[in-house]
Structure 1
Protein backbone atom coordinates (compact mmCIF):
# COMPACT_ATOMS: atom_id res chain seq x y z
CA UNK A 1 0.00 0.00 0.00
CA UNK A 2 1.39 3.40 -0.98
CA UNK A 3 1.89 5.83 1.88
CA UNK A 4 1.94 9.57 1.30
CA UNK A 5 3.15 12.09 3.91
CA UNK A 6 0.35 13.98 5.62
CA UNK A 7 1.89 17.30 4.60
CA UNK A 8 1.74 16.32 0.93
CA UNK A 9 -1.95 15.54 1.33
CA UNK A 10 -2.43 18.90 3.06
CA UNK A 11 -0.83 20.75 0.15
CA UNK A 12 -2.98 18.82 -2.32
CA UNK A 13 -6.12 19.74 -0.36
CA UNK A 14 -5.18 23.41 -0.26
CA UNK A 15 -4.53 23.34 -4.00
CA UNK A 16 -7.92 21.76 -4.71
CA UNK A 17 -9.66 24.28 -2.44
CA UNK A 18 -7.80 27.19 -4.08
CA UNK A 19 -8.79 26.02 -7.56
CA UNK A 20 -12.41 25.89 -6.44
CA UNK A 21 -12.28 29.40 -4.97
CA UNK A 22 -10.72 30.68 -8.19
CA UNK A 23 -13.51 29.02 -10.20
CA UNK A 24 -16.20 30.63 -8.02
CA UNK A 25 -14.50 34.02 -8.15
CA UNK A 26 -13.96 33.88 -11.92
CA UNK A 27 -17.62 32.99 -12.43
CA UNK A 28 -18.78 35.87 -10.24
CA UNK A 29 -16.60 38.52 -11.88
CA UNK A 30 -17.30 37.20 -15.36
CA UNK A 31 -21.02 37.56 -14.73
CA UNK A 32 -20.60 40.96 -13.06
CA UNK A 33 -18.62 42.27 -16.05
CA UNK A 34 -21.61 41.69 -18.36
CA UNK A 35 -24.55 42.62 -16.15
CA UNK A 36 -25.51 43.87 -12.72
CA UNK A 37 -25.30 40.95 -10.32
CA UNK A 38 -26.88 40.53 -6.90
CA UNK A 39 -24.35 38.75 -4.63
CA UNK A 40 -27.18 37.31 -2.54
CA UNK A 41 -28.55 35.64 -5.65
CA UNK A 42 -25.19 34.43 -6.97
CA UNK A 43 -24.16 32.91 -3.66
CA UNK A 44 -27.65 31.53 -3.06
CA UNK A 45 -27.13 28.49 -5.28
CA UNK A 46 -26.60 25.12 -3.60
CA UNK A 47 -23.72 24.38 -5.97
CA UNK A 48 -21.81 27.54 -5.07
CA UNK A 49 -22.42 27.22 -1.34
CA UNK A 50 -21.55 23.52 -1.26
CA UNK A 51 -18.28 24.09 -3.11
CA UNK A 52 -17.34 26.90 -0.71
CA UNK A 53 -18.23 24.84 2.37
CA UNK A 54 -16.25 21.83 1.13
CA UNK A 55 -13.27 24.04 0.27
CA UNK A 56 -13.39 25.56 3.76
CA UNK A 57 -13.54 22.15 5.46
CA UNK A 58 -10.63 20.79 3.40
CA UNK A 59 -8.59 23.95 3.96
CA UNK A 60 -9.13 23.89 7.72
CA UNK A 61 -8.08 20.23 7.84
CA UNK A 62 -4.98 20.95 5.77
CA UNK A 63 -3.93 23.95 7.84
CA UNK A 64 -4.16 21.94 11.06
CA UNK A 65 -1.89 19.28 9.54
CA UNK A 66 0.66 21.89 8.46
CA UNK A 67 0.57 23.34 11.99
CA UNK A 68 1.16 19.89 13.45
CA UNK A 69 -2.22 19.83 15.19
CA UNK A 70 -4.87 17.14 15.23
CA UNK A 71 -8.23 17.49 13.52
CA UNK A 72 -11.12 17.78 16.02
CA UNK A 73 -14.04 15.40 15.65
CA UNK A 74 -16.43 18.18 14.63
CA UNK A 75 -14.21 19.07 11.67
CA UNK A 76 -14.11 15.46 10.48
CA UNK A 77 -17.90 15.42 10.70
CA UNK A 78 -18.11 18.72 8.80
CA UNK A 79 -15.88 17.31 6.06
CA UNK A 80 -18.11 14.24 5.86
CA UNK A 81 -21.19 16.43 5.46
CA UNK A 82 -19.63 18.65 2.79
CA UNK A 83 -18.41 15.58 0.93
CA UNK A 84 -22.01 14.36 0.84
CA UNK A 85 -23.13 17.72 -0.57
CA UNK A 86 -20.49 17.55 -3.29
CA UNK A 87 -21.62 14.04 -4.22
CA UNK A 88 -25.15 15.37 -4.65
CA UNK A 89 -23.89 18.33 -6.70
CA UNK A 90 -21.88 16.07 -8.99
CA UNK A 91 -24.55 13.42 -9.46
CA UNK A 92 -27.46 15.81 -10.02
CA UNK A 93 -25.58 17.95 -12.51
CA UNK A 94 -23.99 15.13 -14.50
CA UNK A 95 -27.14 13.01 -14.67
CA UNK A 96 -29.92 15.60 -14.95
CA UNK A 97 -28.57 19.04 -15.83
CA UNK A 98 -25.51 18.59 -18.06
CA UNK A 99 -26.05 20.22 -21.42
CA UNK A 100 -29.06 22.25 -20.27
CA UNK A 101 -29.00 26.08 -20.44
CA UNK A 102 -28.20 28.08 -17.31
CA UNK A 103 -25.77 27.36 -14.52
CA UNK A 104 -22.06 28.25 -14.51
CA UNK A 105 -21.27 29.98 -17.80
CA UNK A 106 -17.47 29.61 -17.83
CA UNK A 107 -16.83 26.09 -19.20
CA UNK A 108 -13.64 25.46 -17.19
CA UNK A 109 -15.19 26.78 -13.97
CA UNK A 110 -18.31 24.70 -14.60
CA UNK A 111 -16.13 21.60 -14.91
CA UNK A 112 -14.27 22.42 -11.70
CA UNK A 113 -17.41 23.03 -9.64
CA UNK A 114 -19.51 20.16 -11.02
CA UNK A 115 -16.94 17.49 -11.85
CA UNK A 116 -13.36 18.02 -10.68
CA UNK A 117 -13.97 19.14 -7.11
CA UNK A 118 -16.84 16.70 -6.39
CA UNK A 119 -14.68 13.81 -7.63
CA UNK A 120 -11.70 15.07 -5.62
CA UNK A 121 -13.74 15.37 -2.42
CA UNK A 122 -15.03 11.82 -2.79
CA UNK A 123 -11.59 10.36 -3.55
CA UNK A 124 -9.96 12.31 -0.73
CA UNK A 125 -12.52 11.01 1.75
CA UNK A 126 -12.35 7.43 0.47
CA UNK A 127 -8.59 7.09 0.04
CA UNK A 128 -6.91 9.20 2.71
CA UNK A 129 -6.78 7.52 6.10
CA UNK A 130 -7.09 10.48 8.42
CA UNK A 131 -10.66 9.82 9.58
CA UNK A 132 -12.05 7.07 11.71
CA UNK A 133 -15.50 5.45 11.60
CA UNK A 134 -18.26 8.02 12.10
CA UNK A 135 -21.12 7.06 14.44
CA UNK A 136 -24.42 6.55 12.63
CA UNK A 137 -26.21 8.55 15.32
CA UNK A 138 -24.53 11.65 13.86
CA UNK A 139 -25.87 11.10 10.34
CA UNK A 140 -28.62 13.67 10.92
CA UNK A 141 -25.96 16.40 10.90
CA UNK A 142 -25.68 16.21 7.11
CA UNK A 143 -29.27 17.50 6.85
CA UNK A 144 -28.71 20.68 8.88
CA UNK A 145 -27.33 22.83 6.08
CA UNK A 146 -29.71 21.60 3.30
CA UNK A 147 -32.72 22.19 5.57
CA UNK A 148 -31.56 25.74 6.37
CA UNK A 149 -30.82 26.36 2.69
CA UNK A 150 -34.29 25.18 1.64
CA UNK A 151 -35.91 27.32 4.35
CA UNK A 152 -34.11 30.47 3.16
CA UNK A 153 -34.96 29.70 -0.48
CA UNK A 154 -38.65 29.24 0.33
CA UNK A 155 -38.78 32.47 2.33
CA UNK A 156 -37.11 34.40 -0.48
CA UNK A 157 -39.37 32.79 -3.07
CA UNK A 158 -42.44 33.85 -1.11
CA UNK A 159 -41.17 37.39 -0.46
CA UNK A 160 -38.89 38.81 -3.15
CA UNK A 161 -39.71 36.12 -5.73
CA UNK A 162 -36.13 34.90 -6.29
CA UNK A 163 -35.34 31.18 -6.28
CA UNK A 164 -32.13 29.50 -7.48
CA UNK A 165 -33.97 26.66 -9.22
CA UNK A 166 -37.41 26.77 -10.92
CA UNK A 167 -38.67 23.62 -9.18
CA UNK A 168 -38.48 25.45 -5.83
CA UNK A 169 -40.60 28.38 -6.96
CA UNK A 170 -43.76 28.66 -4.79
CA UNK A 171 -45.78 29.71 -7.86
CA UNK A 172 -45.60 26.09 -9.02
CA UNK A 173 -47.55 25.11 -5.91
CA UNK A 174 -46.34 24.24 -2.44
CA UNK A 175 -47.21 20.59 -2.95
CA UNK A 176 -44.73 20.37 -5.81
CA UNK A 177 -42.13 22.35 -3.87
CA UNK A 178 -42.53 20.08 -0.83
CA UNK A 179 -42.00 17.04 -3.03
CA UNK A 180 -38.73 18.43 -4.36
CA UNK A 181 -37.60 19.39 -0.85
CA UNK A 182 -38.21 15.80 0.27
CA UNK A 183 -36.27 14.53 -2.76
CA UNK A 184 -33.37 16.81 -1.85
CA UNK A 185 -33.45 15.48 1.73
CA UNK A 186 -33.45 11.87 0.50
CA UNK A 187 -30.55 12.56 -1.87
CA UNK A 188 -28.49 14.24 0.84
CA UNK A 189 -29.13 11.60 3.51
CA UNK A 190 -28.34 8.83 1.00
CA UNK A 191 -25.06 10.51 0.04
CA UNK A 192 -24.33 11.06 3.73
CA UNK A 193 -24.94 7.39 4.49
CA UNK A 194 -22.50 6.47 1.71
CA UNK A 195 -19.87 8.81 3.17
CA UNK A 196 -20.41 7.44 6.68
CA UNK A 197 -20.12 3.93 5.29
CA UNK A 198 -16.84 4.75 3.54
CA UNK A 199 -15.43 5.98 6.85
CA UNK A 200 -15.53 2.35 8.02
CA UNK A 201 -13.37 1.09 5.17
CA UNK A 202 -9.60 1.09 5.13
CA UNK A 203 -8.14 3.00 2.18
CA UNK A 204 -7.00 0.62 -0.53
CA UNK A 205 -4.54 2.68 -2.58
CA UNK A 206 -3.47 5.89 -0.84
CA UNK A 207 -2.95 6.62 2.80
CA UNK A 208 -1.44 9.61 4.51
CA UNK A 209 0.30 9.56 7.84
CA UNK A 210 -2.47 9.12 10.41
CA UNK A 211 -4.00 12.24 11.87
CA UNK A 212 -5.86 11.35 15.04
CA UNK A 213 -9.13 13.04 15.81
CA UNK A 214 -10.17 14.09 19.26
CA UNK A 215 -13.57 14.66 20.76
Structure 2
Protein backbone atom coordinates (compact mmCIF):
# COMPACT_ATOMS: atom_id res chain seq x y z
CA UNK A 1 0.00 0.00 0.00
CA UNK A 2 1.43 3.32 -1.09
CA UNK A 3 -0.19 5.12 1.84
CA UNK A 4 2.07 3.15 4.21
CA UNK A 5 5.13 4.15 2.18
CA UNK A 6 4.02 7.80 2.25
CA UNK A 7 3.53 7.74 6.02
CA UNK A 8 6.94 6.13 6.54
CA UNK A 9 8.54 8.76 4.34
CA UNK A 10 6.87 11.60 6.26
CA UNK A 11 7.88 10.14 9.64
CA UNK A 12 11.46 9.72 8.39
CA UNK A 13 11.52 13.35 7.26
CA UNK A 14 10.15 14.46 10.64
CA UNK A 15 12.84 12.49 12.42
CA UNK A 16 15.59 13.82 10.18
CA UNK A 17 14.33 17.37 10.67
CA UNK A 18 14.29 16.94 14.46
CA UNK A 19 17.87 15.60 14.44
CA UNK A 20 19.16 18.47 12.27
CA UNK A 21 17.23 21.07 14.28
CA UNK A 22 18.71 19.68 17.51
CA UNK A 23 22.20 19.82 16.03
CA UNK A 24 21.73 23.45 14.92
CA UNK A 25 20.19 24.45 18.25
CA UNK A 26 23.02 22.84 20.21
CA UNK A 27 25.67 24.42 17.97
CA UNK A 28 24.10 27.86 18.56
CA UNK A 29 24.75 27.53 22.29
CA UNK A 30 27.99 25.59 22.56
CA UNK A 31 30.76 24.17 20.37
CA UNK A 32 29.74 20.80 18.95
CA UNK A 33 31.78 17.72 19.74
CA UNK A 34 30.40 15.19 17.23
CA UNK A 35 31.58 12.26 19.34
CA UNK A 36 29.44 13.58 22.19
CA UNK A 37 26.42 14.75 20.18
CA UNK A 38 26.17 11.54 18.20
CA UNK A 39 27.25 9.40 21.14
CA UNK A 40 23.76 9.26 22.64
CA UNK A 41 21.86 6.02 22.11
CA UNK A 42 18.81 8.17 21.41
CA UNK A 43 20.51 10.00 18.56
CA UNK A 44 22.06 6.89 17.04
CA UNK A 45 18.82 4.93 17.27
CA UNK A 46 16.84 7.74 15.66
CA UNK A 47 19.35 8.03 12.83
CA UNK A 48 19.07 4.28 12.24
CA UNK A 49 15.28 4.62 12.38
CA UNK A 50 15.26 7.39 9.78
CA UNK A 51 17.41 5.26 7.48
CA UNK A 52 15.20 2.22 8.07
CA UNK A 53 11.98 4.14 7.34
CA UNK A 54 13.44 5.72 4.20
CA UNK A 55 14.49 2.33 2.85
CA UNK A 56 11.13 0.81 3.79
CA UNK A 57 9.35 3.67 2.01
CA UNK A 58 11.46 3.23 -1.13
CA UNK A 59 10.83 -0.53 -1.12
CA UNK A 60 7.14 0.15 -0.61
CA UNK A 61 6.93 2.58 -3.52
CA UNK A 62 8.69 -0.02 -5.69
CA UNK A 63 6.20 -2.67 -4.60
CA UNK A 64 8.92 -5.08 -3.58
CA UNK A 65 8.87 -7.49 -0.62
CA UNK A 66 11.28 -6.96 2.26
CA UNK A 67 14.34 -9.16 2.14
CA UNK A 68 15.25 -11.34 5.13
CA UNK A 69 18.28 -9.14 5.82
CA UNK A 70 16.31 -5.90 5.78
CA UNK A 71 13.56 -7.45 7.91
CA UNK A 72 16.21 -8.38 10.52
CA UNK A 73 17.59 -4.84 10.38
CA UNK A 74 14.06 -3.45 10.86
CA UNK A 75 13.49 -5.75 13.82
CA UNK A 76 16.70 -4.61 15.51
CA UNK A 77 16.07 -0.91 14.87
CA UNK A 78 12.48 -1.25 16.06
CA UNK A 79 13.78 -2.79 19.28
CA UNK A 80 16.29 0.02 19.84
CA UNK A 81 13.88 2.89 19.23
CA UNK A 82 11.17 1.31 21.41
CA UNK A 83 13.72 0.93 24.22
CA UNK A 84 14.64 4.60 23.73
CA UNK A 85 11.00 5.54 24.26
CA UNK A 86 10.66 3.33 27.32
CA UNK A 87 13.91 4.43 28.99
CA UNK A 88 13.36 8.13 28.32
CA UNK A 89 9.77 8.16 29.55
CA UNK A 90 10.57 6.14 32.69
CA UNK A 91 14.08 7.19 33.72
CA UNK A 92 15.09 10.41 31.97
CA UNK A 93 12.00 12.56 31.49
CA UNK A 94 12.23 15.77 33.50
CA UNK A 95 16.00 15.55 34.06
CA UNK A 96 18.22 18.50 33.14
CA UNK A 97 20.21 18.41 29.91
CA UNK A 98 19.36 16.52 26.78
CA UNK A 99 17.37 17.99 23.90
CA UNK A 100 16.23 21.53 24.66
CA UNK A 101 13.87 21.91 21.67
CA UNK A 102 10.58 20.68 23.09
CA UNK A 103 9.07 19.66 19.74
CA UNK A 104 12.24 17.82 18.63
CA UNK A 105 12.43 16.09 22.00
CA UNK A 106 8.83 14.90 21.60
CA UNK A 107 9.45 13.70 18.05
CA UNK A 108 12.60 11.73 18.91
CA UNK A 109 11.55 10.34 22.30
CA UNK A 110 7.80 9.86 21.95
CA UNK A 111 6.36 10.17 18.45
CA UNK A 112 8.89 8.10 16.50
CA UNK A 113 9.17 5.25 19.06
CA UNK A 114 5.37 5.06 19.20
CA UNK A 115 4.95 5.15 15.41
CA UNK A 116 7.63 2.52 14.76
CA UNK A 117 6.07 0.20 17.34
CA UNK A 118 2.61 0.59 15.78
CA UNK A 119 4.04 0.20 12.27
CA UNK A 120 5.70 -3.07 13.26
CA UNK A 121 2.57 -4.38 14.99
CA UNK A 122 0.02 -3.38 12.35
CA UNK A 123 1.71 -3.52 8.94
CA UNK A 124 2.45 -7.09 7.90
CA UNK A 125 4.97 -6.46 5.12
CA UNK A 126 7.82 -8.33 6.80
CA UNK A 127 8.56 -12.03 7.16
CA UNK A 128 8.69 -13.72 10.56
CA UNK A 129 12.13 -13.14 12.06
CA UNK A 130 13.89 -16.43 12.96
CA UNK A 131 14.34 -16.93 16.72
CA UNK A 132 17.88 -18.12 15.97
CA UNK A 133 18.70 -14.51 15.02
CA UNK A 134 17.58 -12.96 18.32
CA UNK A 135 21.20 -12.65 19.50
CA UNK A 136 21.86 -10.12 16.70
CA UNK A 137 19.73 -7.50 18.49
CA UNK A 138 22.22 -7.39 21.39
CA UNK A 139 25.37 -6.77 19.31
CA UNK A 140 25.01 -3.03 18.73
CA UNK A 141 23.95 -2.14 22.33
CA UNK A 142 26.85 -4.17 23.75
CA UNK A 143 29.33 -2.31 21.53
CA UNK A 144 27.71 1.03 22.42
CA UNK A 145 27.87 0.33 26.17
CA UNK A 146 31.49 -0.78 25.84
CA UNK A 147 32.47 2.47 24.12
CA UNK A 148 30.54 4.53 26.70
CA UNK A 149 32.23 2.77 29.63
CA UNK A 150 35.68 3.30 28.10
CA UNK A 151 34.95 6.98 27.54
CA UNK A 152 33.54 7.39 31.03
CA UNK A 153 36.71 5.88 32.51
CA UNK A 154 39.06 7.95 30.34
CA UNK A 155 37.70 11.38 29.35
CA UNK A 156 34.82 11.35 31.84
CA UNK A 157 32.02 11.84 29.28
CA UNK A 158 28.86 9.77 29.66
CA UNK A 159 25.62 10.28 27.72
CA UNK A 160 23.28 9.43 30.60
CA UNK A 161 23.60 10.01 34.37
CA UNK A 162 22.95 6.36 35.26
CA UNK A 163 26.17 5.39 33.40
CA UNK A 164 28.39 7.82 35.32
CA UNK A 165 31.36 5.95 36.92
CA UNK A 166 31.02 8.32 39.90
CA UNK A 167 27.98 6.25 40.92
CA UNK A 168 30.27 3.27 41.39
CA UNK A 169 30.89 0.51 38.90
CA UNK A 170 28.55 -1.81 40.78
CA UNK A 171 25.64 0.58 40.17
CA UNK A 172 26.68 1.16 36.56
CA UNK A 173 26.98 -2.61 36.03
CA UNK A 174 23.47 -3.09 37.40
CA UNK A 175 22.12 -0.51 34.96
CA UNK A 176 24.03 -2.15 32.09
CA UNK A 177 22.53 -5.51 32.97
CA UNK A 178 19.11 -3.88 33.15
CA UNK A 179 19.61 -2.35 29.71
CA UNK A 180 20.71 -5.70 28.30
CA UNK A 181 17.67 -7.45 29.78
CA UNK A 182 15.38 -4.71 28.39
CA UNK A 183 16.94 -5.03 24.93
CA UNK A 184 16.52 -8.80 24.86
CA UNK A 185 12.99 -8.62 26.32
CA UNK A 186 11.79 -5.99 23.86
CA UNK A 187 13.64 -7.78 21.06
CA UNK A 188 11.86 -11.04 21.90
CA UNK A 189 8.53 -9.20 21.80
CA UNK A 190 9.42 -7.66 18.42
CA UNK A 191 10.43 -11.11 17.12
CA UNK A 192 7.13 -12.57 18.34
CA UNK A 193 5.06 -9.75 16.81
CA UNK A 194 6.73 -10.37 13.44
CA UNK A 195 4.54 -13.48 13.25
CA UNK A 196 1.35 -11.39 13.43
CA UNK A 197 -0.33 -10.00 10.31
CA UNK A 198 -3.00 -7.42 11.19
CA UNK A 199 -2.69 -5.52 7.91
CA UNK A 200 -1.30 -7.45 4.97
CA UNK A 201 0.61 -5.31 2.48
TM range (shorter): over 0.9
Q: How does 1:55-66 map to 2 (within 5 A)?
A: 55-66=50-61
Residues 168 and 177 of structure 1 are in contact (CA less than 8 Å); yes or no, is this contact kept in structure 2?
yes
TM-score (norm 2): 0.94
The residue matched to 1:99 in structure 2 has which SS?
Answer: coil
Of Structure 1 and Structure 2, the greater helix share is in 2
Deviations 1:148-175 (A, max 9, x none): 1001111111222111012212233222
Which of 157, 161, 185 is the equivalent residue of 2:152?
157
Q: 1:185: which partner in 2?
A: 180
TM-score (norm 1): 0.89
Q: Tell me, which stretches of 5 or more residues in structure 2 are unaligned? A: none
Which of 81, 87, 90 is the equivalent residue of 1:95?
90
Q: Tell me, which stretches of 5 or more residues in structure 1 are unaligned? A: 210-215
Q: How does 1:5-154 map to 2 (within 5 A)?
A: 5=1, 7-154=2-149
Q: 1:163 to 1:85 in 2, by over 3 A?
A: same
Segment of structure 1 superposing worse, 121-130 or 95-104: 95-104
Structure having greater relative contact order (Cα 8 Å, sep ≥ 6): 1
Residues 84 and 113 of structure 2 are in contact (CA less than 8 Å); yes or no, is this contact kept in structure 1?
yes
Residues matched between the structures, number: 201
Between the aligned partners of 2:91 and 2:152, the Cα distance in structure 1 is: 23
The residue matched to 2:134 in structure 1 has which SS?
Answer: helix
- Give the deviation of 1:118 after TM superposition: 0.4
Q: 2:161: which partner in 1?
A: 166
Between the aligned partners of 2:25 and 2:136, the Cα distance in structure 1 is: 35
Q: 1:194: which partner in 2?
A: 189
Segment of structure 1 superposing worse, 99-108 or 42-51: 99-108
